[in-house]
Amino acid sequence: SMVTREKQKPRPNALSTVELLKAASGSSIGMGAHRVMQIAESLYINGFLSYPRTESSAYPGSFDLRGTVATVSRTGIANEHCGQLLQDGISRPKGGHDAGDHPPITPMRAANYGQLSSDEWRVYEYVVRHFIASVSTTCRFERTSAEFMLGDEKFSCTGTTVTDPG
């Protein structure tokens, strides 16, 4: 039997320190939390990221989201998607909490791979991709599952096709 279902993955909240550290320990960044914070602080000191120690996961109403998308459109990371966002309009990031001390962790200056070390680039790229996802629409995809029998053995397979990246 084969079944296809439409699914969606909602866009994330803006990036707080806690979420960055979760990404560090998971497969998204793949390095230790302490090392990621050292790198994020270095990127902050060099003007590439906003202050990385914040509990905010929502932008204040006055934050220039469009200007930030324009900035990250010069990084080589999802340039085409950023251009589409600038043309079609940016979705205000959902929910979250504005702690009032600092904005969420946000790219502040465009960088390219050659400007940063490999580890710095991994952290910077993650922050940029997370920011882009937070101002994009919901990702929609189809998940197809197939099951079949071959003799007495049961096999299954699942595949995903993105229909709207958001």
Catalytic residues: 51
Distance in Å from the first CA to the final CA of the chain = 30
Q: Which helix (H) or strand (E) holds 119?
A: helix 118-134
Q: Are 148 and 94 in contact (CB under 8 A)?
A: no
Spatial distance between the Cα atoms of 135 and 66, rounded to a whole number of angstroms: 9
DSSP class of 113: G
3-state DSSP call for residue 29?
A: coil
